[in-house]
Structure 1
Amino acid sequence: MSQYQDGLPQGWAMAEFDDVAEVEANLVEPSAFLDSPHVAPNHIESGTGRLLPYQSIRADGVTSPKHLFRPGQILYSKIRPYLAKVTLVDFAGLCSADMYPVRADIVPGFLQQWLVSPMFTALASQSQSRTVLPKINKRALGTKAVPVPPLNEQKRIVARIEALQRRSSAAKEALDAIPPLLEKFRQSVLAAAFRGDLTRKWREAHPDVEPATELLARIRAERRRRWEEAKPGKKYVEPEPVDTSGLPELPKGWCWASVEELCWDGPTNGYSGATEAGSSGTLTMKLSATTQGKLLLNDSTTKRLSETLGDESKFWLKQGDLLVQRANSLSYLGAAAIFDCAEEPMVYPDLMMRIRVVEPIITALLWRYFNSMACRGWFRANATGTAGNMPKISGAILRRTAVPLPSAGEVEQLLEVVGQTLEVVDAVTEPSSELSDLLAPLNQSILAKAFRGELVPQDPNDEPASVLLERIRQEREAAGDSSATGRRGRKPKQARRS
Structure 2
Amino acid sequence: MSSNIDNATGLNTKVNPFEVNSNWVWSNFGELFDIQGGTQPPKSQFLSEPKENYVRLIQIRDYASDEYLTYVPSSKKLRLIEENEIAIARYGASIGRICTGKKGAYNVALAKVIYDKKVINRDYVYWWLKSDEFQNKINKNSRTAVAGFNKKDLSDIPFAIPPFPEQQRIVNRIESLFEKIDKAENLINEAREGFEKRKEAILAAAFRGELTQKWRKNNKTKLECITNEDLFEYKKKRHLDECNIEKCKGLKIPKKPKTFNSEELDNRLLPESWRMISFSEAIYDFKYGTSEKSDYENVGTPVLRIPNIGNGICDISDLKYAVGEIDSSLRVNKNDILVIRSNGSKELVGKANLVTEEVNGYAFASYLIRIRYVGIYPEFLAFMLNSSIVRNQFFLKSKSSVGINNINTQQLASIQIPLPSYDEQVEIATILERFLSNENRIVDNILNEVDTNIMKKAILAKAFRGELGTNDSVESVDYLMRCK
The number of residue pairs the alignment matches comes to: 449
Partner of 1:184, secondary structure, is: helix
Distance 1:128 1:96, change over 3 A: farther
Is the deviation greater in 265-274 or in 439-448?
Answer: 265-274
When normalised by structure 2's length, the TM-score is 0.79
Q: Is the 8 A contact 2:306 2:368 kept in 1?
A: yes
Q: CA deviation at 1:219?
A: 4.2
Map 1:147-226 → 2, pairs under 5 A: 147-206=160-219, 210-213=223-226, 217-226=229-238
The aligned counterpart of 1:114 is 128
Q: Select which of 451, 458, 461 maps to 2:474.
A: 461
For the Cα contact (< 8 Å) 2:25–2:160, is it kept in 1? yes
- Note if 1:288 corresponds to 2:307: yes
The correspondence of residues 467-486 of structure 1 with structure 2, limited to 5 A, is 467-472=478-483, 475=484
2:445 to 423, 431, 442: 431
Work out whether residues 340 and 368 of structure 2, in 8 Å CA contact, stay in contact via their aligned partners in 1. Answer: yes
Structure 1 equivalent of residue 46 of structure 2: none
Distance 1:70 1:342 in 2: 54
Task: Give me the whole-angstrom Cα distance separating, in 2, the residues matched to 1:167 and 1:414.
Answer: 42
Matching residue's letter, 1:41: I
Contact residue 93 and residue 145 of structure 2 kept, 8 A: no
Residues 284 and 25 of structure 1, relative CA distance in 2, 3 Å threshold: closer
Q: What is the root-mean-square deviation of aligned Cα atoms in Å?
A: 3.7
SS of the counterpart of 1:271? coil
Report the secondary structure of 1:353's partner residue: strand
* Gapped regions of structure 2 (runs ≥ 5): 1-12, 42-49, 245-252
1:331–1:453 CA distance, 2 compared to 1 (3 A): same
Which residue does the alignment assign to 1:102? Answer: 114
Shift of residue 257, structure 1, vs aligned partner? 2.8
Which of the numbers 330, 335, 339 marks the counterpart of 1:315? 330
2:288 pairs with 258, 269, 273, which one? 269
**Counterpart among 453, 464, 478 of residue 451 in structure 1:** 464
Q: Deviations over 1:98-127 (max 9, x none)?
A: 231534232222222222221123344567
Which one-letter code corresponds to 2:277 in the other structure?
Answer: A
Report if the CA contact (8 A) 1:176-1:433 is conserved: no
Tell me what 2:4 maps to.
Answer: none
Cα pair 2:397 2:411 within 8 Å, conserved:
yes
1:243 and 2:256 correspond: no
TM-score, structure 1 as length reference: 0.77
Query: What SS does the aligned partner of 1:164 have?
Result: helix
Decide whether the 8 Å contact of 2:90 with 2:144 is kept in 1. Answer: no
Residues 301 and 363 in structure 2, CA contact (< 8 A), matched pair in contact too: yes
Find out whether 1:418 has 2:418 as its counterpart: no
Partner of 1:372: 387
Query: Once the 2 structures are TM-superposed, how far is the Cα of residue 128 of structure 1 from its aligned partner?
Result: 8.3
- Distance verdict in 2 for CA 1:248–1:352, change over 3 Å: farther
SS of corresponding position for 1:63: strand
Unaligned 5+ segments in structure 1 are 45-51, 476-498
Would the alpha carbon gap of residues 33 and 108 (structure 1) be closer, same or farther in structure 2, given more than 3 Å must change? farther
Whole-Å separation in 1 of the counterparts to 2:103 and 2:145:
33
SS state of the match for residue 434, structure 1? helix
Moved more, 22-31 or 395-404: 22-31
Amino acid at match of 2:342: A
Contact in 2 for aligned 1:315/1:348 (Cα 8 Å): yes
1:255 to 275, 281, 287: 275
| 1:336-370 deviations in Å (ceiling 9; x for gaps) | 222112377322223323233345x5222222211
CA distance in 2, matches of 1:398, 1:176: 32
- In structure 2, do the counterparts of structure 1 residues 434 and 278 end up closer, same or farther at CA, with 3 Å as the change threshold? same
**Cα distance 1:281–1:198, how it changes in 2: closer, same or farther (>3 A)?**
same
Q: Give me the whole-angstrom Cα distance separating, in 2, the residues matched to 1:344 and 1:237.
A: 22
The answer (yes or no) to whether the contact 1:178–1:432 under 8 Å persists in 2 is no
> For 1:219 and 1:121, how far apart are their aligned partners in 2?
59
Structure 2 residue corresponding to 1:346, chosen from 347, 352, 362? 362
Q: Which residue of 2 aligns with 1:227?
A: 239
Instruction: Provide the rounded CA distance (Å) in 1 between the counterparts of 2:94 and 2:406.
Output: 36
Q: 2:320 aligns with which of 303, 322, 325?
A: 303
Q: 1:243: how far off?
A: 1.8
Q: Is the 8 A contact 1:449 1:455 kept in 2?
A: yes
CA distance in 1, matches of 2:93, 2:159: 16
Give the direction of change, closer, same or farther, for the CA distance of 1:340–1:126 in structure 2 (3 Å limit).
closer
